[in-house]
Amino acid sequence: MNNLIIKNGSDKDSDYIIEKLVEYNLSKVPQTQEVAYVWLNKIIENDNKEIVGGILAKMYCWNVIYIDALWIDENYRSCGLGEKLLLEIEKLGKEEKCNLIHLDTFDFQAKDFYIKNGYEIFGVLDECPKNHKRYFLKKSLE
């Protein structure tokens, strides 16, 4: 133990750490889906094939979905595109027998949008970033 060192890790090292953590987690709670992580990403393009919105979501280990990002170009906001993307991911979740979807957002982002769409706050992180809040929200898909 005396010769241990801390050094910068590579992308390959990061993958190894995640693999070992998932291995441990699954030893405690068995996986309920065939593949441990399934990306459920969707984009919206305009007539010029430019991306004007998208959602990045991941279904993980136990048929639970985490929404990593949802973005709509400012010129396309208030047109219902965000809600359409959310509903698309929720529909996929229900098809895959997911019972829960969760995400986080900041006070200067879309907290009220998610609440309007049936998500509930289950946690708040103050001063993240300074003078702001980060909200953690969830929605049951059952």
Find all residues with CB under 8 Å of 123, minimum gap 6, and list them. 135, 136
Whether residue 33 contacts residue 12, with contact meaning beta carbons closer than 8 Å, is answered with no
The predicted pLDDT at position 106 comes to 97
Number of C-beta neighbours around residue 35 at 10 A: 9
Q: Where are the domains of the chain?
A: 30-140
Tens of pLDDT along 124-139?
999 999 999 999 999 9
Q: Is the pTM of this model over 0.85?
A: yes
Please say whether the beta carbons of 46 and 52 come within 8 A: yes
Name the CATH superfamily, with its identifier, for domain 30-140: Gcn5-related N-acetyltransferase (GNAT) (3.40.630.30)
Q: pLDDT, tens digit, for every residue of 23-33? A: 999 999 999 99
